[in-house]
Amino acid sequence: MLEINLSGLKLKSPIILASGVLGVSFSSMKRVINAGAGAVTTKSIGPKSRKGYKNPSIIEIYPGTFMNSVGLGNPGIDEFILEIKEIKENNIPLIVSVFGDTKDVYLEVATKAEKAGANAIEINISCPHAEVASIGIDKDLTYKVVKYLKEHLSVPLFVKLNPNVTFLGDIALAAEKGGADGVVAINTLTALKIDVNTKRPILSHGSGGLSGKAIHPIAIKKVYDLYKILNIPIIGCGGIDSWEDVIEFFLAGASAVQIGTALYREIEIIKEINKGIIQYLKEHQYKSINDIKGLAHKFKIQEVPDFD
């Protein structure tokens, strides 16, 4: 009931580990798979090691809602290849998130990841507290980077979208036109929290990305709107911590989902979510989660009334 085919990736569950959470080592990613995830996405990996920003780099600002500014800290692709190979030796479906400062650097990192055994590549053009966000706010840059990478890669290519734009549809359509096999909607939202006593931003970097429960309705809206205009799969991401959240994403039009922030509680939450989805499908007499994709669009939304 939970099996999906995501651009050629056959997954036992529609739940995928989101980039940036537990995606640095084989051991942590194996725990996520053992808990019932269908695939894992690594932390964003660049061409060389990067320390990221100093602490405090992540804070919980409301229950289940966090703000972070990690700064794309990572070991670099050459070192991370060892982790990729160990992951693949254990047959874990793997999506490697990559970033760079030019399209050639993106390709360098992605190619090395693919050769090491990545099942798919996710390009991070949307981190709200790093320079890569400049790509994800420009439809022409998005198109050029995606097209260039797609011409050189053989594995599926997913694009993680930046929600901090006026109209996300333009960026998503540019990614589709460039040949993307799917989009991830959405990355974190730009946010700022100031300590009233010290009178300064709490995070060392200042601003950061908002994730968790507070952004879930926003992510649902983005997926709902994108489903109307895209012909490629949408991977819903933002604020999932229950089976209802996953069902909601599918009803809005998602083909899969990513979970991240909720894992701060416990990884076993994935098992609970899978069980809840199966129970829901049985109660509503659906044979597969794919049967509910986009059903919310059958409901006619009330139009603005005339003032004649």
- 203 located within any domain: no
Q: In the structure, what pLDDT confidence band is assigned to residue 133 with cuts at 50, 70 and 90? A: low
pLDDT score of 21: 74
Q: Does an H or E element contain 208, and which?
A: strand 208-212
C-beta of residue 104 within 8 angstroms of C-beta of residue 129: no
pLDDT band at 272 (very low <50, low <70, confident <90, very high): very high
pLDDT at 69: 87
User: Is 107 contained in some domain?
Assistant: yes
Per-residue pLDDT tens digits for 199-248: 999 998 889 999 999 999 999 999 999 999 999 999 999 999 999 999 99
Is the pLDDT at 146 greater than 90? The verdict is yes
Q: Buried b / exposed e across 98-122, counting CB within 10 Å, b at 16+?
A: bbbeebebbbbbbbbbbebbbbbbb
228 lies in a domain? yes
Q: What ranges make up the beta strands (E) of 2-136?
A: 4-6, 9-11, 15-17, 39-41, 58-62, 65-68, 94-98, 120-124
Does any domain span residue 58? no
- Does residue 57 sit within a domain? no
pLDDT category at 131 given cuts 50, 70, 90 is low
Closest CA to 211 of 36, 31, 43, 19: 19
Q: How confident is the model at residue 297 (pLDDT cuts 50, 70, 90)?
A: very high
pLDDT digits (tens, 9 = 90+) for 157-212: 999 999 999 999 999 999 999 999 999 999 999 999 999 999 999 998 889 999 99
In-domain check, residue 198: no
Q: What local confidence, expressed as pLDDT, does residue 300 receive?
A: 80
What are φ and ψ of residue 259, in 5° steps? -125, 140
Active-site annotation, residues: 127
* Residue 30, in any domain of the structure: yes
Number of domains in the chain: 1
Residue 130 scores a pLDDT above 70: no
* Domain coverage including residue 76: 4-52+70-192+210-298
Q: Looking at residue 176, which CATH number applies to its domain?
A: 3.20.20.70
Residue 308 lies in a domain: no
